[in-house]
Structure 1
Amino acid sequence: MSECYSGILEEMTIDDVCDLQANVCVIPIGSTEPHGPALPYGTDSYRAEAACYGGTRRANELGGRVICLPTQRISLNNNFRAFPFACRMAVRTFMSLIGDLVEMCESEGVRRVVIVNAHGGNPDAIRASMRDLSSRDGAFVCLIHATTCASPEAQQVWENRSDHAGEEETSQILYLRPELVREDKITDNPRVNPVVDVLKEFKTEFVRPWHLYLPTSAGGDARKSSAEKGQIVYESAIDGMGRFLSGLSKAPDSETFPY
């Protein structure tokens, strides 16, 4: 490789791609779904893309050979059907998409694939796809969340953690895409808990109908959100993602990789 490339496939020419000789492929996965009155439908996709694009650039600056595919913006939102234009596909279709993308990477000679997810409805199906793919002698595939690589110190900025359009996601979008945030709509979004107490007592897992769980489609107190908090977490996440991807790229090949 004669020079440092961004690794962002959409930005590269065919000569750039050939010269990079990537040995790690990143697949960013977001979602297009409602995030309440304050945040855009593309919240999860913007978060995934920022972590992956920034992390890929950083990894290649550190000597990695990493390429990042375009962000997958439609994923699993079957429990959002009550809300308008919550974009979704069938679980089996999504799993097939994961399999097809991994097989494409393999056909290009890439044997290390990193799936970076930013939507809470996706991990179970991604893990099932990975288990299915592991039944053959293919690429090493791993899954990581978009901000997992942020340091514990950076994560301490959160005062009210929540899983959907609360302080964390609102702060991140205030940093990444401030022009899309309706700041006058940022509030404490109510959650509705099941009245069947034994479900919580025995830690039962079930698919939550989102319009019953979060009537406004957002949940959690977002009033202490700030772009500064989002910046602290994302700068740390991008730095960590870069170190993770470059480390994976530089790890020696072996028949028993990663062991």
Structure 2
Amino acid sequence: MAAVLTQKQAYFSPELFHFLIELRYNNRREWFQANKPRYEALVRQPFLRFIADFAPHLEKISPDYLAGPQSLFRIQRDTRFSANKAPYKTHAAAQFRHRRGRDVHMPGFYIHLEPDNCFLGAGIWMPEPENLRRIRAAIARQDPRWLRLRGRLELDGEGKLTRPPRGYRADHPLIEDLKQRSFTVSYPLAEEVVTSDALLPAVEKVFLELLPLNQFLSEVLLLPQEEEP
């Protein structure tokens, strides 16, 4: 009788992290091509299986966010404008972005798998200028939705300005939030969870907790949202 796959099985093995560590020290096309079957077996295919199984759970969290093969980021780096010419990323990641999002600069959920640095996240990374203006304007008027969020979430602070953005006073009560250039929140994820059958429910739990951040951003950016059943 053929074995029946169940949700109780782990998607990733510890070999995922072994492969990524090796890639860190052998970040060359020749090495990667020789080890591409390992990448497929240990990283890409397990991640695609996870995404496929997680899709109906994400639908329940919010139908505004999509999970599919397009959610998985390519392992290849874009080196055109970077001094670092290493051809491959040394982590695996996926973003479940808003259905109206064209790229990573829109609200979404994120999962990042890297040796000693696994985490889950939500929010918007480096929004385009007009979207950044809209978000800052909502924060500046002390939108009650933002105040409720800030009472329980700590922003990552990536790319934060050292001085107030143009048009805002240094003594604004939310000036530290206004200095943000990204509005994301991250939760650490233990490698033991990544390689266990607890991964999917752990991701679902955290994304549900972070959903209000994405809802706020979507409302500020005037993105359409599905009505709750």
TM-score calculated relative to the size of structure 2? 0.33
